[in-house]
Structure 1
Amino acid sequence: MDWLKISVFTQKEAEEIVTALLMEAGAHGVSVEGDNEACAKGGLPWDYLSDEVTKKAPFCVAAFFPCDGNEGAVLDDIQRRIGDVRSMNLGLPLGTLEVKTDVVYEQDWENAWKAYFKPAKISDFFVIKPTWEDYEAKKDEIIIEIDPGMAFGTGNHETTRMCVHLLEEYMEPGMTVIDAGCGSGILSIAAAKLGAQKIYALDLDPVAVEVTSENAALNGCEDVIGAQKSDLLSEVPEGEKADIVVANIIADVVISLNSIAKHYLKVGGMYVCSGIIDSRLGDVRKSIEGEGYKVIQILEDGEWRAIACKYRG
């Protein structure tokens, strides 16, 4: 299948807003890119660029939609949503919000990932290794082998790295984990390799669910990870109580999830949330504390924040 790539030029501070806009419009995958010579050759994701380059390069969020005859309607819908965002007083620099479209052929998409997605150590122990790359683990390193396909998540984003750090800190063998917004399954696989007994890997995007299942099998975790399509935690069995709920999504969705997650957490269980840009940290923390959680730790990486908190019951 070929893909319509819709790029929205914005500012890094508005990344989560534009990402949410595109996902709500039905995107099957999202990447963050700079539009300069260093990354234009293959749509190199922004995460792989040096600090020197990112300071000079325009910032854009690109989303991918199937070329199925509905491209015009999709573009009109996104332009309408951008108009709505322009009219809001969000207190963030939005950039031009200019829209650019391209067609990406399936083979080109695959080759772009293979050219630029390399093994990377993302935490104290975990190394993300794409399936097509060779890598020999060093002492104490834990390998997560993935093929992201059209799902969002290569593991190299700040929000993912912070979530993995927090899982390393709070996970204990035998725990039950809920991964809300599993993407390509990196957090679920990390939890499994840290000894989780049962993991609910949930995502509203059926592509993400499929890719998570495939990556779980690649890592020998398919018996522990149950990936399924779910609106937030709606598909978690009634009465199930997890030791950890982890959510690497965006601030507004985290705020919506705060009141839901506690019903699926054991008293004393940990709630780990990320995808929170610094300007929204206060809003998210206020919501978290209002729902009976105690904030234990806040990690910072660039503009992004991750929160670990305990549910007090």
Structure 2
Amino acid sequence: MIWQEIKVTTTHAAADAVANLFHEMGFGGVVIEDPQLVERYTHSAGWDCYELPPEVLQGDHVTVKGYLPLTDKPSGEINEEPPRLTELRQRLVQLWAMFEGEDGQVSLGQIDEDDWAQAWKKYYHPVKISDKIVIKPSWENYSTASDQIVIDLDPGMAFGTGTHPTTVHCLRALERYIRGGELVADVGTGSGILAIAAAKLGAAEVLAVDLDQLATSIAAENIRLNGVADRVRVLTGDLLEPLADRQGFDLIVGNLVAPIVRRLGPSAWEKLKPGGLFIGAGIIQGRLSEVLEELTGIGFELVEITDEGEWSTVVVSRPGPGPDTETR
């Protein structure tokens, strides 16, 4: 199949919002190329032997890519702009206004699915998130230490490889706060990485939700691959709506963007048991104060804030008797 590749060159602050827009509109996969992020990890102990082309490592802007199917016509035969692409242009204009006049550039290309599906894999190697958690691609071997939790991941045509700072923050928070036996919800599960981690860390039941059917399909496959399908269930829907019949969660995690974390706050409060924790991530630091104001206004109490670069992750608790929130 031939795919239309839509590239939006934008700022670091707006990149996740652009990616979220792509997901909301049902684009077949999203890629974020962030030179600062790559630079940070290639000079840390986190990534093993990352060899990326210069065009990914250079520049001050972020490139967000999304894909639309263009049937099986040969390249060069497609002239009309798909309606969803026209809608995307219109919604991007609205998005730029939300980010106080920040702008971006849209460019188009075509790519063959068979070529694309294999090419990126040569750049993806095992990643050590913490002393305990390692993410590895499903097609690579890794020598595991006795106390390590290894998450096998095949992102496919959706979401990332688990190395974005917001994902790392969430993984480390799950490691700190899951003691075993918890009921957990992962909102915006993407590849399923946080849901898988929660189960492998000892959660008794994990409900993973995403609005994107492509994401839930890939998440379900990754969950099966990691042998936790007996404790992790994947649902398609908006935020916590698919969990209308469930209450008493010990922990809810949402690696999203600031406006969606704010929107999730009230329903997270309703679903959590007293003493339960809400982890909200994907928050640019310029919008951290409004997220905290929203969450504390609902009644949440701040447990911790984790910052890295321009990203913040918050952990808040619903007051009441419950597990001690000190880390293990």
1:19 is aligned to: 19
For 1:244 and 1:34, the matched residues in 2 are separated by 30
Within 5 Å, give how 1:225-244 maps onto structure 2. Answer: 225-244=232-251
* Identity score, percent: 38
Within 5 Å, give how 1:248-263 maps onto structure 2. Answer: 248-263=255-270
1:187 is aligned to: 194
CA pair 49-23 structure 1, distance change in 2 beyond 3 A: same
2:75 is aligned to: none
Q: Does 1:91 align with 2:100?
A: yes
- Could you tell me whether the CA contact under 8 Å between 1:158 and 1:304 is conserved in 2? yes
Compute the displacement of 1:71 (Å): 5.2
Deviations 1:192-242 (A, max 9, x none): 001111110000011111111111111110000000101111111424221
TM-score (norm 1): 0.89
For 2:100 and 2:291, the matched residues in 1 are separated by 16
Compute the displacement of 1:302 (Å): 1.5
Amino acid at match of 1:201: A
User: Which range is displaced more, 236-245 or 298-307?
Assistant: 236-245
CA pair 243-193 structure 1, distance change in 2 beyond 3 A: same
CA RMSD for the aligned pairs? Answer: 2.5
Partner SS state of residue 279, structure 1 = helix
Structure 2 unmatched runs, 5+:
40-49, 72-77, 321-328
Structure 1 unmatched runs, 5+:
40-46
- Could you tell me whether the CA contact under 8 Å between 2:12 and 2:61 is conserved in 1? no
1:78 is aligned to: 88
For 2:34 and 2:285, the matched residues in 1 are separated by 21
Amino acid at match of 1:91: E
Equivalent of residue 145 in structure 1, options 152, 160, 163? 152
2:292 is aligned to: 285
TM-score (norm 2): 0.85
For 2:177 and 2:213, the matched residues in 1 are separated by 29
The number of aligned residues is 300
- Could you tell me whether the CA contact under 8 Å between 2:24 and 2:212 is conserved in 1? no
Equivalent of residue 164 in structure 1, options 156, 159, 171? 171
Partner SS state of residue 241, structure 2 = coil
Q: Does 1:298 align with 2:316?
A: no
Q: Does 1:5 align with 2:9?
A: no
Partner SS state of residue 235, structure 1 = helix
Partner SS state of residue 16, structure 2 = helix
- Could you tell me whether the CA contact under 8 Å between 1:242 and 1:265 is conserved in 2? yes
2:326 is aligned to: none
CA pair 128-83 structure 1, distance change in 2 beyond 3 A: same
Structure 1 moving runs of 4+ over 3 Å: 47-50, 53-58, 68-71
For 1:91 and 1:48, the matched residues in 2 are separated by 36
Amino acid at match of 2:93: G
Partner SS state of residue 304, structure 2 = strand
For 1:239 and 1:213, the matched residues in 2 are separated by 20
